[in-house]
């Protein structure tokens, strides 16, 4: 809050204690003016209106009455910034409410951090609906929708269905084998597709079926009772599914389908920078973290031509990168949470904006006198409902538990977790439903990484510092949070700004933690799939072909343009595995680890050899060792083209001088000795037949 804003904190008719000293200390540290009230939304509303006249940014510590304050601000013509924060349920209504002054100051500081606007993607639906069913339920649903939608009914044919007296919409037979797309752009593949006979009497009679037909539609209403057509079908917009035996569920689906006509805006949850993607090169698969975790199938692999490559160190390599369909993406954030290069980042809000709000929360809490805060990351639908119930019917949140809302729990990446501890948090808890939602696996994996790093730095505690609380019970949530009393930070918080990509923020946070721990900078072993580590090269088998440098997406492997040399920068390695998959000698292995030593930020020479100089023009080309290996192999195999030492000596020449030697040096291409006879297929078949009979050659 460095924009000279006014912060209103209301005791809500004295139902919560306000620590004026802590609040004043926190607001002053942020350059804000603290104003208090007891009933700001009613009898003291004039104080709010008077503040609006000053034109300064305003933060009101109340979310319950936010619509009223917004209405009054609009009526007053207020064009400034108006923010709201919930201090009552998240701090004041608690058995430790009298001690929650520092937390209130931190929440006020976090609320003042602006969030960028949400990017949107539009979906267009013309109301073309495909109703999938098995019996009369599908026909009844279609009749209910025929005034709103353009309908086609597709029955599986497993039940005898009485034909309608009038054909008001097409009724066909078929089984939906699969589907792709989204609201406004579905394609359904149908097997056994057949039309009904117009002479159908007691039940539909179907013609001859055809497999592999396709149907395009805007909406799919699935009443077959069969397996869903999409993974995580609950979040696929435009695909509505209900059990035909559940009348209430069918009615709800029918009502929802009738509303899906027009233009719909949905958030563009993630942004994609293909140039950073480490998925694949030259048809060699590297990183698949996002593809493995995406619950909706919104991520697919695409191939770009070599000319499109914009990666340093990857020129001329065919790139396979991933594409995220904004229309299908449901925003779980799993891809962004595990992307090692920052190619995929979360946009609701962006990771750097959320990190700034987290930093303000933790630093504002500390500036007001708070210590050993526990960061509680939660979403709106599940987390805020639990905290509200705990505040109203239980003991409320502990005074040092600092709640921070995220859009989806799956978006929590390693930079946020590492940053939280570097900015002073003694612990981090992710509040999840008892039944895990879609896409949280990546966030849970990151909890394991941060725990391993903290343990390696000597910052482990009697309880896990980073963990999840999975519950739907507010009282169980309270018990779990009050049980975190033993967690203490024990290190000095840093105040670095979260600048750059999430990976850069993560590195900065880990280095700050290493410095704060007092432990010597060293190497910390990490679990499998950690996004940093060493690509170890068995140098005795390396031929300096430099294939690894051509595919490395982050330039962790690089060549020296002046001398035969392979260099490696550990700080840049994301453990994608492309180097190991591409290496023709198979001498590269991956070792996940976190190297906090300064040397990790400097390229090291993995292998170098003496360059070979052309004896004719003195041009440097290749290496002496590689030329010697080739000559040794040709000599050992007694290759007919190189039995003459003069011919073998040509390999010592550079590519230009070899041409000169071949044309002007008197080399007779027909004087290379007797060539071996040409062998045909008949020769091989004849020898095989003789071998069967046991005859000699």
pLDDT value for 673: 58
Q: Which of 145-159, 209-223, 279-293, 327-341 shows the lowest mean pLDDT across its residues?
A: 279-293
pLDDT value for 314: 43
Does residue 1 sit within a domain?
no
Q: For strands 128-133 and 150-155, give the pairing.
A: parallel
108, 18 Cβ separation under 8 angstroms: no
State the residue range of the domain holding 588: 533-608
pLDDT in tens, 19-42: 999 999 999 999 999 999 999 999
Are 158 and 87 in a shared domain? no
Are 554 and 439 in a shared domain? no
Q: Which of 202-216, 298-312, 356-370, 456-470 shows the lowest mean pLDDT across its residues?
A: 298-312
For the chain, percent of residues with pLDDT exceeding 90: 80
Are 408 and 436 in a shared domain? yes
| Averaged pLDDT of the chain | 92
**Listed residues 346, 377, 392: the one ending a domain:** 346
Does residue 472 sit within a domain?
yes
Number of domains composing the chain: 5
Does residue 671 sit within a domain?
yes
For the chain, percent of residues with pLDDT exceeding 70: 95
pLDDT value for 159: 95
- pLDDT > 80? residue 269: yes
Are 280 and 187 in a shared domain? no
Split at pLDDT 50, 70, 90, the class of 640 is: low
Q: Which of 259-273, 294-308, 370-384 shows the lowest mean pLDDT across its residues?
A: 294-308
Are 631 and 556 in a shared domain? no
CATH number for the domain harbouring residue 342: 3.30.70.20
Task: Give backbone dihedrals phi and psi of 594, rounded to 5 degrees, phi first.
Answer: -115, 110
Using only the alpha carbons of the chain, give its radius of gyration. 34
Does residue 223 sit within a domain?
yes
Are 34 and 131 in a shared domain? no
pLDDT in tens, 590-614: 999 999 999 999 999 999 998 888 9
pTM attached to this predicted model: 0.88
Split at pLDDT 50, 70, 90, the class of 193 is: very high
What does the pLDDT average to over 154-169?
A: 94
Q: Give the span between the Cα atoms of 321 and 274, in whole angstroms.
A: 6
Are 577 and 637 in a shared domain? no
Are 162 and 308 in a shared domain? no
pLDDT value for 668: 65
Q: Which of 8-22, 253-267, 644-658 shows the lowest mean pLDDT across its residues?
A: 644-658
Number of neighbours of residue 464 by Cβ within 10 angstroms: 19
Within 611-665, where are the H helices? 624-637, 645-649, 655-664
Does residue 58 sit within a domain?
yes
Q: Among 659, 670, 545, which Cα is nearest to 609's? A: 545
Are 35 and 158 in a shared domain? no
Within 146-197, where are the H helices? none
Task: Give backbone dihedrals phi and psi of 614, rounded to 5 degrees, phi first.
Answer: -65, 125
What does the pLDDT average to over 368-385?
A: 97
Would you list the DSSP string of 348-403?
TTBHHHHHHHHHHHHHHHHHTT--S-EEEEE-IIIIIHHHHHHHHHS----TTEEE
Are 356 and 323 in a shared domain? no
pLDDT in tens, 52-100: 999 999 999 999 999 999 999 999 999 999 999 999 999 999 999 999 9
Does residue 172 sit within a domain?
yes
CATH number for the domain harbouring residue 233: 3.50.50.60
Are 160 and 225 in a shared domain? yes
């Amino acid at each position: 809050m460095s924009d000279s804003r006014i912060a209103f904190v209301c005791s809500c008719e004295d139902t919560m204690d306000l620590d004026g000293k802590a609040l004043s200390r926190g607001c002053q540290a942020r350059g804000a003016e603290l104003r208090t009230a007891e009933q700001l939304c009613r009898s003291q509303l004039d104080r709010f209106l008077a503040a609006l006249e000053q034109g300064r940014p305003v933060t009101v510590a109340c979310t319950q009455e936010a619509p009223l304050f917004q209405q009054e601000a609009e009526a007053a013509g207020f064009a400034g910034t108006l923010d709201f924060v919930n201090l009552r349920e998240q701090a004041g209504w608690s058995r430790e409410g009298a001690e929650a002054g520092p937390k209130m100051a931190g929440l006020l500081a976090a609320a003042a951090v602006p969030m960028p606007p949400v990017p949107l993607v539009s979906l267009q639906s013309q109301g073309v609906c495909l109703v999938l069913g098995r019996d009369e339920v599908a026909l009844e649903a279609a009749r209910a929708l025929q005034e709103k939608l353009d309908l086609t009914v597709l029955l599986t044919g497993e039940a005898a269905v009485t034909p309608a007296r009038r054909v008001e919409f097409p009724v066909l037979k078929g089984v939906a084998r699969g589907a792709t797309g989204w609201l406004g752009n579905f394609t359904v593949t149908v097997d056994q597709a057949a039309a009904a006979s117009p002479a159908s009497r007691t039940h539909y009679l179907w013609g001859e079926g055809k497999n592999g037909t396709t149907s395009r539609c805007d909406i799919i209403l699935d009443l077959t009772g069969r397996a869903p057509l999409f993974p995580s079908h609950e979040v696929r917009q435009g695909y509505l599914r209900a059990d035909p035996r559940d009348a209430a569920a069918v009615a709800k689906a029918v009502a929802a389908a009738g509303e899906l006509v027009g233009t719909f805006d949905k958030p563009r949850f993630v942004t994609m920078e293909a140039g950073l993607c480490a998925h694949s090169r030259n048809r060699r698969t590297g990183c698949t973290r996002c593809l493995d975790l995406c619950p909706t199938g919104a991520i697919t692999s695409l191939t770009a031509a070599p000319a499109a490559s914009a990666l340093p160190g990857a020129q001329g390599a065919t790139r396979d990168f991933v594409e995220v369909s904004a229309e299908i993406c449901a925003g779980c954030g799993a891809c962004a949470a595990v992307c090692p290069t920052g190619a995929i980042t979360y946009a609701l809000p962006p990771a750097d904006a959320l990190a700034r709000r987290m930093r303000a929360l933790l630093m504002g809490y500390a500036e007001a006198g708070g210590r050993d805060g526990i960061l509680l990351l939660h979403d709106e639908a599940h987390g805020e409902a639990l905290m509200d119930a705990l505040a109203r019917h239980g003991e409320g949140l502990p005074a040092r538990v600092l709640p921070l809302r995220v859009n989806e729990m799956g978006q929590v990446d390693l930079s946020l977790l590492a940053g939280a501890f570097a900015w002073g948090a003694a612990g981090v808890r992710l509040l999840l439903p008892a039944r895990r939602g879609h896409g949280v696996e990546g966030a849970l994996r990151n909890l394991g990484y941060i725990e391993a790093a903290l343990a390696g730095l000597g910052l482990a505690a009697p309880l896990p510092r980073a963990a999840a609380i999975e519950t739907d019970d507010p009282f169980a949530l309270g018990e779990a949070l009050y049980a975190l009393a033993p967690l203490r930070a024990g290190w000095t918080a840093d105040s670095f700004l979260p600048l750059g990509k999430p990976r850069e923020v993560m590195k900065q946070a880990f280095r700050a933690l290493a410095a704060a721990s007092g432990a010597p900078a060293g190497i910390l072993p990490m679990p499998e799939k950690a996004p940093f580590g060493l690509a170890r090269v068995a140098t005795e088998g390396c031929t300096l072909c430099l294939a690894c440098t051509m595919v490395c997406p982050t330039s962790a492997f690089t060549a020296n343009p002046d001398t035969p040399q392979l260099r490696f920068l550990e700080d840049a390695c994301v453990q994608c595995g492309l180097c190991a998959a591409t290496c023709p000698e198979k001498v590269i292995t991956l070792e996940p680890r976190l190297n906090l030593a300064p040397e990790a930020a400097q390229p090291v020479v993995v292998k170098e050899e003496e360059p070979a100089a052309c004896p004719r023009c003195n041009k440097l080309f290749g290496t002496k060792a590689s030329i010697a290996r080739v000559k040794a192999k040709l000599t050992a195999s007694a290759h007919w083209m190189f039995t003459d030492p003069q011919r073998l000596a040509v390999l010592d020449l550079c590519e230009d001088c070899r041409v000169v030697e071949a044309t002007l040096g008197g080399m007779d291409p027909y004087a290379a000795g007797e060539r071996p006879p040409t062998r045909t297929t008949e020769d091989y078949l004849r020898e095989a037949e003789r071998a069967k009979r046991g005859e000699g050659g």
